[in-house]
Amino acid sequence: MKKIVRNTFYTGLWLLISSKTFANIDFWAWKVQEWIKWDSNTADVTIQNVLSNFFTFLYIIAVVFIIYAGFLILTAAWDDEKLKKWKTIMIQSVIWLVVIWLASSIVGWVIKVLYWQ
């Protein structure tokens, strides 16, 4: 489990670091260049874009864990340890989704309050 989390983290980190490199590729150009405009965006827009992409990455990780929990329940074969592991992962993933949603809402609200005053 720790290897899965570590590998997922390193893959996401690699994608974030290399996204500027992939900006020149046609199929990513419209997506990546849209939020990496260091010279024309203001600081608040850049912070909002980076945080939005970070929260999206966290949502994807939470959904991957839910899919992994679904795989565990399908292969459990009434093994009590696998069922306990499935229940723990599923509950933690749903809690994680709620926390990410609350965090993104709170951060969006704080940025809006700071920007408009």
At 88 the pLDDT is 92
With b for 16 or more beta-carbon neighbours within 10 A and e for fewer, the 47-72 pattern comes to ebeeeebbbebbeebbeebbebbeeb
Residues 93 and 62: their CA atoms lie apart, in Å, by 6
From its phi and psi, is residue 78 left (phi > 0), alpha (psi between -120 and 50) or beta?
left
At 78 the pLDDT is 84
> At residue 31, does pLDDT exceed 80?
no
More confident residue, 72 or 31: 72
Predicted TM-score of the model (pTM): 0.57
Mean pLDDT along residues 98-112: 85
Percent of the chain with pLDDT over 70: 68
Over residues 33-82, the pLDDT tens digits come to: 555 555 566 776 777 788 888 888 988 998 899 899 888 888 888 888 88
**Average pLDDT value for the chain:** 76
> At residue 29, does pLDDT exceed 50?
no
